[in-house]
A and B are shown apart, each in its own frame.
Chain A
Amino acid sequence: MKLNKVLSVVALSLISLFAACDKIESDNYLVFSGASGEWYDGNGVADKSQRAFLDKFTGIRCVNCPTADEAIHAAMEQYGDKLIAVAIHDSSTFGMPVEGFDLRTEDGNTWRNTLRGSGGLPAALVMRDGDIFTPTSGIQAKVDPILAQSPVVAISVESQLSDRTANIGINLEFLQTCNDNLNLTVFIMEDGIIGQQFQPDGSHKSDYVHNHVLRDVITDVWGAEVDADGQAGTKRFCNIKHTIEQNNWNLSNCKVVAFISNRSTKAILNVAECEL
Chain B
Amino acid sequence: MLIAALVAFGLTSKAQNVLGGGQVSGNIQLDGQISRADSLIGSENVPEKLLMNARADILYTNGNFSAGLRFEAYQNPMLGFNAAYKGQGIANYFAAYNGEKLGITAGNFYDQFGNGMILRAYEDRYLGLDNSIRGFNVKYRPIEGITLKGVIGQQRVYWDYGQGIVRGLDGEINLNSVIKPFAESKTRITLGAGFVSKYEADETVPSSVPGYKLNIPQNVGAASVRMDLSHGGWGLQAEYARKGQDPNVLNDYIYHEGEALFLSASYSQKGFSANVQAKRVDNMGFKSVRSQSGEMLYINYIPAITKQHTYAFLTLYPYATQNTGEMGLTGDVMYKIKKGTVLGGKYGTDIHFNASWIAALDTTTIGGRGTEGYTATYFGTGDAYYADATVEVAKKFSSKHKLVATYGYVLFNPIVEGHAGDMHHNHVFIADYTWKINKKNVLRLEAELLESDSKYTPEVDDKRCGDWIMGLVEYNFTSNFFACFSDQYCYRDGNGANYPQLSVGYTHNATRLQLGYGKQREGIICIGGVCRQVPASNGLTFSLTHSF
Contacts and interface: CB of A to CB of B under 8 A. Distances in A.
Contacts of A40: 209-212
B498 interface: no
Interface string B274-292: 0000000000000000000
A14 B168 CA distance: 9
A28 B207 CA distance: 12
B210 A24 contact: no
B304 interface: no
B171 A26 contact: no
Residue of B171, B206, B370 with highest tally of chain A CB at under 10 A = B171
B262 to A, nearest CB: 21
Nearest to B146: A6
Contacts of B531: none
A26 B143 contact: no
B197 A29 contact: no
A113 interface: no
Interface string B152-173: 0000000000000001010100
A14 B195 contact: yes
Nearest to A34: B211
B211 A23 contact: no
B213 interface: yes
Interface in A10-25: 10, 13-14, 17-18, 20-24
B167 A3 contact: no
Given A14-B169, A21-B244, A23-B245, A31 B213 contact: yes
B211 A33 contact: yes
Interface size range on A against B: 20 to 34
A29 B219 contact: no
A41 B209 CA distance: 7
Interface in B45-67: none
Per DSSP, are chain A's interface residues mostly helix, strand or loop, or mixed?
A: mixed
A43 B188 CA distance: 58
Nearest to B223: A18
B204 interface: yes
A23 to B, nearest CB: 7
A26 B255 contact: yes
Interface string A25-58: 0101111111000101111000000000000000
B221 interface: yes
A28 B210 CA distance: 16
Contacts of A22: 217-220, 244-245
B169 A34 contact: no
A32 B212 contact: yes
Interface residues of B, number: 35
Contact of B142 (A6, A17, A239): A6
A17 B212 contact: no
Contacts of B462: none
Contact of A30 (B197, B215, B221): B215
A10 B197 contact: no
Given A3-B178, A14-B193, A239-B211, A24 B245 contact: yes
Contacts of B199: 20
A26 B372 contact: yes
Contact of A17 (B169, B210, B255): B169
B214 A30 contact: yes
B316 interface: no
B381 interface: no
B217 to A, nearest CB: 3
Interface string B389-425: 0000000000000000000000000000000000000
Contacts of A31: 212-215
A237 B211 contact: yes
A224 B211 CA distance: 18
B59 to A, nearest CB: 31
B143 A2 contact: yes
B283 to A, nearest CB: 15
B148 interface: yes
B82 interface: no
Contact of A41 (B204, B210, B213): B210
Contacts of B372: 26
Residue of B143, B204, B207, B209 with highest tally of chain A CB at under 10 A = B209
A29 B367 CA distance: 12
Contacts of B195: 14, 17-18
Contacts of B146: 3, 6
Contact of B148 (A6, A30, A41, A42): A6
A29 B371 contact: yes
Given A10-B169, A14-B169, A29-B370, A20 B212 contact: no
A77 B212 CA distance: 37
Interface in B401-460: none
B380 to A, nearest CB: 23
Contacts of B245: 22-24
A217 B193 CA distance: 57
B143 A6 contact: yes
17 contacts: A2-B143, A14-B193, A20-B197, A20-B219, A21-B244, A23-B217, A29-B370, A29-B371, A30-B370, A31-B213, A33-B204, A33-B212, A33-B213, A38-B211, A42-B209, A237-B210, A237-B211
7 nearest interchain CB pairs? A34-B211, A40-B211, A22-B217, A21-B221, A33-B213, A40-B210, A30-B212
Interface of B: 142-143, 146, 148, 150, 167, 169, 171, 178, 193, 195, 197, 199, 204, 206-207, 209-215, 217-221, 223, 244-245, 255, 370-372
Given A10-B171, A20-B197, 8 more contacts: A17-B195, A18-B195, A20-B199, A21-B244, A23-B245, A29-B215, A32-B211, A33-B204
